[in-house]
Amino acid sequence: MQGMAVTPQVEASQAAPKKYQFDFGEGPVEKGFTGVSATTRYNEKMGYGFNTPENMKNVTAAGTGVASDAVQFLAFGTKSENTFNVDLPNGLYEVTVTLGDTARASVAAEGVFQLINMTGNAATDTFQIPITDNQLNLLVTEGKVGTNFTLSAIEIKKLSKHAVMKPTIYIGGDSTVCNYYPLANSLQAGWGQLLPEFVDTETYQIRNMASGGQIARGFRDDGQLEAILKYIKPGDYFLLQLGINDTNPKNMTTEAEFKEIMRDMVRQVKDKGAMVILSTPQGRATDFNSDNVHNSENRWYRHSILALAKEEKVPLVDLNVLSSTYFTSIGPEASGKLYMPGDSLHPNREGARQLAQIVADDLNRQGFEGFMSR
């Protein structure tokens, strides 16, 4: 916690509101929101503000309403002290973030990533977070270096006085798995983005920490695994699918190195008491032979993923083979329509939906709770 809240304020929090709304920038403030300028410094009396406003800047934004203006973070990084702080009674909260104009940005809070690679102006997403020190510390940070990291609005709703997240399905992966924005109607999608359609979301929340272009070493070392390890607990799942980008020579990851990095992540999560489930990536739209049979079993370090699952005694979704069976059943032309135009690797929204359904079907078949079969 970077801006200490005074004890009397915490004690008085029994009557505190269950919802907080902040509209950032120097433009008109939306009804029901509290206006916050880049110059608003945190103080104990207000209970909110920027920790270091000298590292903030008011900017315009192309959206409407709360998204018509924003603040820009001039200092950033998950460990940066240039945060927006809000005093909150301890408990579990739901935080909805609306960005300003930015190509790709991530949201961090409490020193770790919360949302990964939000793309496009006025992108909006929501996450749950347990507050245990009476204060939320949030900032917008790297999705893509060189772009502006901006924030238009946040809405904070208290869910429970107990600072424990409900059972959670964490997902790790690359561009075939990650979220694309707007979440509700993006043309491109990853199967992790569509998985909520096939999960009992009354019982489980889904945290998709996958990101485009990711490799095993990057996921482990650059903050995504750190965020998962901070919160994951017994009763949670961690679905991990990597390998596509690791096979690219530019990433200089041998198959043996890939396998050991994946093993390290598996063991770290198992040590937290959560269930790790490995997945193999689906193939390309063009992986059909002359008999119109789809097969991509030799792609993406798949054999090492299978071996690792066996050695570490963790469940496996062989999405590579399962998706090939599906693609073969519908044929090359229909399979091609499940990928982005002119792209044989990345699924479109319907393709991601089909892959998510295949993953959920297989997990349901294996007896895992929360996954709905067709």
> What pLDDT is attached to residue 373?
82
CATH number of the domain that residue 307 is part of: 3.40.50.1110
**pLDDT value for 7:** 36
* Residues 6+ positions from 350 with CB-CB distance below 8 Å: 337, 338
Smallest Cα–Cα separation from 181: which of 221, 136, 124, 111? 124
Same-domain pairing of 307 and 231: yes
Per-residue pLDDT of the chain (374 residues; tens, 9 = 90+): 444 443 334 333 445 567 999 999 999 999 999 999 999 999 999 999 999 999 999 999 999 999 999 999 999 999 999 999 999 999 999 999 999 999 999 999 999 999 999 999 999 999 999 999 999 999 999 887 888 999 999 999 999 999 999 999 999 999 999 999 999 999 999 999 999 999 999 999 999 999 999 999 999 999 999 999 999 999 999 999 999 999 999 999 999 999 999 999 999 999 999 999 999 999 999 999 999 999 999 999 999 999 999 999 999 999 999 999 999 999 999 999 999 999 999 999 999 999 999 999 999 999 999 999 87
One domain, residues 198 and 108: no
Q: Give whole-number Cα distances, 257 to 21, 215, 223, in Å.
A: 46, 11, 19
The answer to the question of residue 2 being in a domain is: no
Q: What is the CATH number of the domain that holds 96?
A: 2.60.120.430
- 131 backbone dihedrals φ, ψ, rounded to 5°: -105, 120
Domain shared by 147 and 176, yes or no: no
**Distant-in-sequence, close-in-space partners of 12: CB < 8 Å, separation ≥ 6:** none
From 80, 152, 175, 324, the catalytic residue: 175
**Based on the domain organization, do 271 and 333 belong to the same domain?**
yes
Q: Is 13 a residue of the active site? A: no
- Of 200, 329, 343, 344, catalytic: 343
Asked if residues 215 and 233 have their Cβ atoms less than 8 Å apart, the reply is: no
Tell me the C-alpha to C-alpha distance, in Å, between residue 206 and each of 45, 170, 238, 254. 36, 6, 10, 31
Question: Which tokens is 235 given?
Answer: 């009763």
What does the chain come to in residues?
374
Domain boundary among 138, 160, 182: 160
Report if residue 289 sits inside a domain.
yes
Q: What whole-number distance in Å separates Cα of residue 328 and Cα of residue 323?
A: 8
Of these residues, 68, 294, 346, 362, which one is catalytic?
346
pLDDT score, position 13: 40
Q: Rounded to whole angstroms, what are the CA distances from 229 to 167, 170, 265, 318, 338? A: 14, 10, 10, 25, 34
One domain, residues 107 and 219 = no
Task: Decide which of 160, 188, 215 is a domain's last residue.
Answer: 160
Residue 328 lies in a domain: yes
The separation between CA 258 and the C-alpha centre of its own chain, rounded to angstroms, equals 22
- Residue 340 in tokens: 């982005």
Bridge pairing between strands 48-50 and 153-160: unpaired
pLDDT at 49: 98
Host domain of residue 50? 7-160
Residue 364, phi then psi, degrees to nearest 5? -65, -45
Kindly state whether residue 269 falls inside one of the protein's structural domains: yes
Starting at the edge strand found earlier in the chain, the sheet holding 112-119 runs 48-50, 84-87, 135-142, 104-109, 112-119
Reference 72, options 136, 141, 125, 151; nearest CA is 151
- Is 207 in contact with 99 (CB distance < 8 Å)? no
Would 370 be classed as within a structural domain? no
Residue where a domain terminates, one of 96, 130, 160: 160
Residues 110 and 217 in one domain: no
Task: Looking at the structure, tell me whether residues 28 and 137 fall in a common domain.
Answer: yes
Count of domains observed in the chain: 2
Same-domain check for residues 115 and 210: no
175 is catalytic: yes
137 domain-assigned: yes
343 is catalytic: yes
Name the one residue in this structure whose structure tokens are 């695994």: 225
**Is residue 180 in some structural domain?**
yes
Q: Do 225 and 319 reside in the same domain of the chain?
A: yes
For residue 16, the model assigns a pLDDT of: 56
Within this chain, do residues 145 and 198 fall inside the same structural domain, yes or no?
Answer: no
| Together in a domain, 147 and 199 | no
Q: Do 154 and 45 share a structural domain? A: yes
Tokens 């490799």, residue? 215
| Any domain includes 371 | no
